[in-house]
Amino acid sequence: MQVAGISAVVTGAASGLGAATARALADAGAAVVGLDLAAGWERAPLTDAAGGGDTPGATDRTAAPGRVLPVAGDVREPDDVAAAVAAATGSGSPLRIAVNCAGVATPGRVLSRRGVHDLDQFARVVGINLIGTFNVVRLCAEAMAATDPVDDEGQRGLVVNTASVAAFDGQIGQAAYSASKGGVAAMTLPLARDLAGSGIRVMTIAPGILDTPMMAGITEEFRTALAATVQFPRRFGRPDEYAALVLAFAAQDYLNGEVVRLDGGLRMPPR
């Protein structure tokens, strides 16, 4: 599927994987709508259609990459996601790609010195990572299904969701995160089967240790130790490598219903 001339919705687009993906899709010629809850995101200035790179004068948490329309919203809220979908369909280009990068990773043991795991915290992680992902999928798929197919096989769109290696190798303190990402991985094939009749493919990326804002608070010593657990290459992955995989999925029409680990062969230890 060609990226140029289509529109796309990317969640979590204010930073990390979402920002890199939004930029890559825009650079490939898509009209990109970025949905994010970041403060000030909806006020981020836009560069003109010929511009490139980050918006001048804005921070990583609020900057819309060049040619990306920022929409403020919560992936759990149907009205917020509907607004992003409307912005994409109203761009004059058919909505063909949706990429779910919004997510949180709040650690917590089931039992610890501080007591039992907070149930609201568990529900929040699952709500954002799993229910929010499904909310975006269903509303974007509805808009994609209403478009004309791009080929004789009836192809109309691509959905890319983000799981994690924690879906398979969850560590101590990751019960909520692993449950949410395990759900994302598990619904990949059912979503692909549900949407096959509409010509919409569904793929999931399960990143390992990627250099995103989630990792910004750890020490250099801990970063080195984490990188050493990767088989090869022994380093953190880059957000642009995630974005490149999204573009590869778009280019390869026969990829569907699969979870792809982007982790350098990493298998996480218990802690």
pLDDT digits (tens, 9 = 90+) for 186-214: 999 999 999 999 999 999 999 998 888 77
Name residue 14's amino acid. Answer: A
| Environment class of 212 (CB within 10 Å of its CB; exposed 0-12, middle 13-18, buried 19+) | buried
Determine the average pLDDT of the residues in 55-82.
72
Looking at domain 7-262, which of 1.10.760.10, 3.90.79.10, 3.40.50.720, 3.30.70.2190 is its CATH number? 3.40.50.720
As a whole number of angstroms, the distance between CA 64 and CA 80 comes to 17
The whole-number pLDDT of residue 44 equals 62
For the chain, which residues make up each domain, given as ranges?
7-262
Model pLDDT, residue 57? 28
Does 217 score more than 90 pLDDT?
no
Can you list the alpha helix ranges (DSSP code H) found in 69-131? 78-89, 119-126
Q: Catalytic: which of 177, 236, 242, 249?
A: 177
Residue 177 annotated in active site? yes
> pTM for the complete prediction?
0.90
Sign of the dihedral through C-alpha 8, 168, 15, 70: positive
For residues 179 and 210, the model is more confident at: 179
pLDDT (tens digit per residue) in 222-271: 788 888 889 999 899 999 999 999 999 999 999 999 999 999 999 988 88
- Mean per-residue pLDDT over the chain, rounded: 89
d(CA 152, CA 26): 26
